[in-house]
Structure 1
Amino acid sequence: MQLVGILEIKSFEKIKEFLNDEHVGRISSIDVSGFPQIIPMNFVFLNDAIYMHSHVKGEKLDNISNNDKVGFEADRELEFLPSYFEDPHNAALADTLYISVVVKGIASFVTDREEKTLALNGLMEKYQPEGFYDPLKSDMRVLDAVSVIKINPQTLHGKYKIGQHMSSNDRMILAKKILEKNSATAKTTLKIMGFEEIDGVLTMIDEPKW
């Protein structure tokens, strides 16, 4: 199997899980000069669509009004793998473990008040899960003060690289190097890779297949 196939996220549930966890996505629209404009946005993935809230005026809204075809992506760098993990001299061996989702879709502005309320409350539930707020209702005037952009995906592709392209022995060697480097993200990365420290011994307890 080609490497690109090994790196593909085949589970839609894993893609949804990733999108629900990520706080920043990027929407790409086409401006009046034909150039892509990329904007980082908060977002929520609901009912197989992406929702974002925005001011009622702005360049991205104008872009979407003129051309509703957009791109969207979210990504997470899990761990940078320095080249010296493989060779103390060859910089070309530097690598990165990551997760990413890329969407091509059709953007629209939500006008139905019930759907707009659903999206805005979904954003609040995602970004403020501890609560301490009153959910919005569809008859509130505040709904008129914001735009809600909806992207209906036409294609949705996910990729992940957590060592699944390596042999079990090579993955263990890599995991030990990540643990030894002890970056701020090391333990989280190792857990995603399927490793845990048990009684001080790094052990693969899972074979993640996405």
Structure 2
Amino acid sequence: MQLLGRLEIKSKQKIIEFLNKEHIGRIASMDRDGFPQIIPMNFVFVNDAIYMHSHTRGEKIENIKRDPKVGFEIDRELEFLPSYFSSPTDASQADTLYISVVIKGYGTIVSKNDEKSMALNALMEKYQPEGGYERITPDMPVVDEVAIIKVVPQTMRGKYKIGQHLDKNARKNLAKKIFERNSSTALETLQIMGFKVTESNLEMVEEPVW
């Protein structure tokens, strides 16, 4: 329990920052036979709610209309830690650094065009920040041609594992191994862990506390 507490993201602002950066989330709803259906979706978090666009018909739409209780999950694998970081032979020592957020809430299908156009514009701003499009207004035909799913969180919990559960020396040692392994995500992971990377050196510039 103590370790789980140290892995929990305490800052709502950090959770929101993570949501704003990630591009794929997964919505879970219950089908008519009582089985969970999980669908990957583009999404935006705005006005304390998750918004997604969808076809006007589909199983997830019917699921939400029938039972509005839904789950929503977002995660990012930061770095796979090979078993040999900890042991030369024990494969069970392999681990992963990650960030994740799990939301439980109520889903609805937005009916008002003002809210639908707001959500569509927010999605475009997130996924196409360079512009190059005409802003959507409530009277445009496209607003009636898509469905907007809204999820209002009842609970929103985040977890992260970026070395904060280790003492300072162990964290530095882990960072050195990640640096030397030099995966495609290593530099970004080290920055998230609170390290400044130079050509030949690692320097911890901040404690990884969220």
Q: Which band: TM-score by shorter chain?
A: over 0.9
Deviates more, 1:169-178 or 1:198-207: 198-207
Match of 1:180, SS state, is: helix
Q: TM-score, normalised by structure 2?
A: 0.98
Residue number in structure 2 paired with 1:59: 59
Match of 2:202, SS state, is: strand
Match of 1:139, SS state, is: coil
* Distance (Å, rounded) in 1 between the aligned partners of 2:10 and 2:34: 33
User: Is the Cα–Cα contact under 8 Å of residues 28 and 38 in structure 2 kept in the other structure?
Assistant: yes
Q: CA deviation at 1:108?
A: 0.2
Question: Any idea what the Cα deviations from partners look like across 1:31-51, whole Å, max 9, x if unmatched?
Answer: 011000000000000011000
Question: Any idea what the Cα deviations from partners look like across 1:95-136, whole Å, max 9, x if unmatched?
Answer: 000000000000001111111111000000000001000110
The one-letter code sitting in structure 2 at the alignment partner of 1:162 is I
Aligned structure 1 segments of 4 or more residues deviating by more than 3 angstroms = none
Question: Any idea what the Cα deviations from partners look like across 1:127-182, whole Å, max 9, x if unmatched?
Answer: 00010001100111110000000000010000000000000000000000000100
Residue number in structure 2 paired with 1:97: 97
Residue number in structure 2 paired with 1:40: 40
What aligned pairs does 1:35-184 form with structure 2 within 5 A after superposition? 35-184=35-184
Residue number in structure 1 paired with 2:6: 6
Match of 2:209, SS state, is: coil
Residue number in structure 2 paired with 1:29: 29
The one-letter code sitting in structure 2 at the alignment partner of 1:139 is D
Q: CA deviation at 1:207?
A: 0.8
The one-letter code sitting in structure 1 at the alignment partner of 2:26 is R
* Distance (Å, rounded) in 2 between the aligned partners of 1:86 and 1:120: 47
The one-letter code sitting in structure 2 at the alignment partner of 1:46 is V
Structure 2 unmatched runs, 5+: none
Aligned pair 1:197/2:197, yes or no?
Answer: yes
Structure 1 unmatched runs, 5+: none
Q: CA deviation at 1:199?
A: 5.8
* Distance (Å, rounded) in 1 between the aligned partners of 2:95 and 2:46: 33
* Distance (Å, rounded) in 2 between the aligned partners of 1:182 and 1:41: 31
What value does the CA root-mean-square deviation take over the aligned residues?
Answer: 0.9
Q: TM-score, normalised by structure 1?
A: 0.98
The one-letter code sitting in structure 1 at the alignment partner of 2:33 is S
Q: CA deviation at 1:198?
A: 3.7
* Distance (Å, rounded) in 2 between the aligned partners of 1:62 and 1:112: 19
* Distance (Å, rounded) in 1 between the aligned partners of 2:67 and 2:88: 49
Pick closer, same or farther for the CA change 1:56–1:32 going to 2, 3 Å: same
| Percent identical residues | 64
* Distance (Å, rounded) in 2 between the aligned partners of 1:81 and 1:197: 19
Aligned pair 1:209/2:209, yes or no?
Answer: yes
The one-letter code sitting in structure 2 at the alignment partner of 1:120 is L
